[in-house]
Structure formats: C-alpha cells, structure tokens
Homo-oligomer: A and B are copies of this chain.
Amino acid sequence: MSSNGFHIPLEKIEEARERIAPYTRRTPMLPPPLVHRDIPQRLHLKLENLQVSGSFKARGVFNTLLQLDPEQRSRGAVTASGGNHGLALAYAASRLGMPATVYLPARASEDRVARIARYGARVIKHGDAWDDANAKALEHAANENLAYVPAFDGASVVEGQGTLGLEMIDDLPEIDCVLIAVGGGGLIAGVSAAIRQKKPDVTIIGVEPVGASSMHKSITAGHRVGMQQVRTIADTLSPKSVSDLTYGVTSQYCDRVHLIDDRQMVQAMRWLWAECNQLVEPAGAAVIAALLDGGLDIGKYTAPTAIICGGNAAAESVFTAYQQAADMLSGIN
C-alpha cells in the first residue's frame, strides 16, 4: 500500500492481462534499425497504435466490461470520451454483443464520430469539453441504471492499461526508461504501477501538452490541480484535470513530466511517418515530440522505450484523394 492511499496491485494487472488476452493484441515493438539519426539509436517504440480500436484504451475497456455481471452486460454501458476511449467502448461492446452509448464534446471531429458509429454505438454530442460530456454521461448512467465506464478514473481501467507495462517488460527485459503521454493519467498510472512493482529502477517520464498540463501542475504542487481551460490539438490528451486516483498512483512512480507544444507534436507526427510509415494522432506522437530538437535527454539509458499510444488521426483526406484518382482513371477506361 502506498503512502498516499492509492494503490494498483500487480496481481490485479496480471489478472487483467489474462482476462483481456483473447480480445486485445500484444502489439509489436518497432524492430531495429532506426532510420533517423537524430535521436538515441537505442530507442524502442511500442506500437500501441496497432491495438484493436487504434489505441491502448481497448485494454481498460475490455478489462472493465468483462467484469460486469450478465444482467449489467445486457443493459449496456455508457461513457464520455475525447474520442479513443469512446471508440474502444464502441468496439468492445460490439465484440461482446452489448449496447453502448458514447458522449462526446461538441467539437469532436466527424472522423471520430463516424468511427464510433460504425461499431453500432449511439453517439451523443454534449458540451464544450470532455468534462461537460462526462457529467452528462454519469447522469445518463445513473438515471437508466447502466454501467458507466470511466475514461481514466477507475481501478479496472487503470489495471487494464497496466497490462501494456507487463507486455513491455516481456518484450524488452532490459528496459530502463519509459516515455508515456499523459491525458487523464490512466495510461501512465497503470503502466508505471506495473513496471515499477516489477522493476523498481526503471525511470518513468510523462509527456504532457503545455495547454493541458494538469498532471505536471499537480505533481509540482503536490496535490491534484485542474485547469480552467485546456487548449491543444491533442484532443485525446485534454481533460481539464487528472483524477485523484491517476494523480495518486502516478505521483508515486513518475520521475518527471516533460511539457511539449502542439507544433512539436505535428513535427513528431511527420517524424513517425518518415521513420516507419505510422500515421498517428498528435497524442500518439507526443513522446517523440519530447525527444526532437534536444528537448528531453535520454542519452544515459540503455533501453529507453516510447509508447506510441494511439493512431486515430483524421486521415479521410488521403482516402478521398485516392478515391478521386481511381474514379477518374476508371471513368476513362
């Protein structure tokens, strides 16, 4: 048990790993060599953008839904999401044959809405920020007695995300530093709890957008601090505040939180595309953004690993352009 009362036991993460295994992917580490020469050649990339539903969120969602009793399952589940958590819930509910409702902030991109709707979930847009949509989702769940699946503020969700940490130790037993993007803090809480309970000497570095930096502010202040307003293109990293749980766990294990800005994330998206043809959303590139232009120095580690946490970029423009080219060519055939 930890000093501040928040604890994610290793056994729970190990149970989660077994529970979700039939439904999720053991994602690959990018095999060497690196093409770029501008970052340490020992860097490993855990390509979690290849996870089902396109992000690590599927881990926590499956771990939660698979623990519902049959009656709860048949009634269905509700959540609120900046995008990836909602997509994971929609996919998992479809896979398990459950109804699902996803609340999104009004500004959520059409690309995300379409992806969620494709899995048969009901999508409701509400409010300006994730926090507004989440309040409505909680109300909906209470009124209709449905299971509410938290985006990050729940032990079963954090334990599910922690399975990624166990996998990384198996992938790379000599791992000595992990870079993890921070939104609501579910990923860093779960992964750092998993890794540090098995390998206490691994350095854990969080990476957070400067315009949505609740974890950085909280760790600096020594208590949870929210923001009045968030401003970043990384819509999946933008709740106004981390939770007591995610802050409480992360503050025990995380060595530091490094801040990045939106332009660095776009530069890092281009870097990943040139490195290994992975098109990812801004949040998925955040850990790379921290390393470019000499921002964060990881030169002293022998097996540092960056988690590419999500890939759901708005890519429709690419398909539309190829579709037009195909239509044009076939029209003159």
Q: Are A232 and B329 neighbours in the complex by a CB distance under 8 Å?
A: yes
Give the residue of B50, B282, B321 whose beta carbon is less than 8 angstroms from that of A314: B321
Question: Quick one: copies of this chain in the complex?
Answer: 2
Give the residue of B33, B233, B325 whose beta carbon is less than 8 angstroms from that of A329: B233
Chain A, 260-273, contact with B by CB distance < 8 Å: what is the 0/1 string?
Answer: 01110110011001
Q: Are A50 and B276 neighbours in the complex by a CB distance under 8 Å?
A: yes
- With A273-B319, A317-B317 known as contacts, the answer to whether A231 contacts B329 (CB < 8 A) is yes
Q: What residue in chain B is nearest A270 (Cβ atoms)?
A: B319
A26 at the interface (CB under 8 A from B): yes
Q: Are A326 and B52 neighbours in the complex by a CB distance under 8 Å?
A: no
A93 at the interface (CB under 8 A from B): no
A32 at the interface (CB under 8 A from B): yes
A269 contact set on B, CB distance < 8 A? 318-319, 322
Q: Are A277 and B330 neighbours in the complex by a CB distance under 8 Å?
A: no
Give the residue of B25, B33, B35, B261 whose beta carbon is less than 8 angstroms from that of A32: B25
A27 contact set on B, CB distance < 8 A? 31
- With A35-B53, A277-B312, A311-B277 known as contacts, the answer to whether A317 contacts B326 (CB < 8 A) is no
A279 at the interface (CB under 8 A from B): yes
Chain A: number of interface residues, binned into ranges: 35 or more
- With A211-B329, A211-B333, A263-B330 known as contacts, the answer to whether A322 contacts B282 (CB < 8 A) is yes
Q: What residue in chain B is nearest A29 (Cβ atoms)?
A: B28
A323 at the interface (CB under 8 A from B): yes
Cα(A276)–Cα(B266), bound, Å: 21
Q: What residue in chain B is nearest A53 (Cβ atoms)?
A: B35
Given contacts A23-B33, A232-B329, A233-B325, 16 further A-B contacts (CB under 8 A): A24-B33, A25-B30, A26-B31, A49-B277, A211-B329, A233-B329, A262-B329, A266-B319, A269-B322, A277-B278, A277-B280, A279-B315, A313-B318, A313-B322, A314-B321, A315-B318
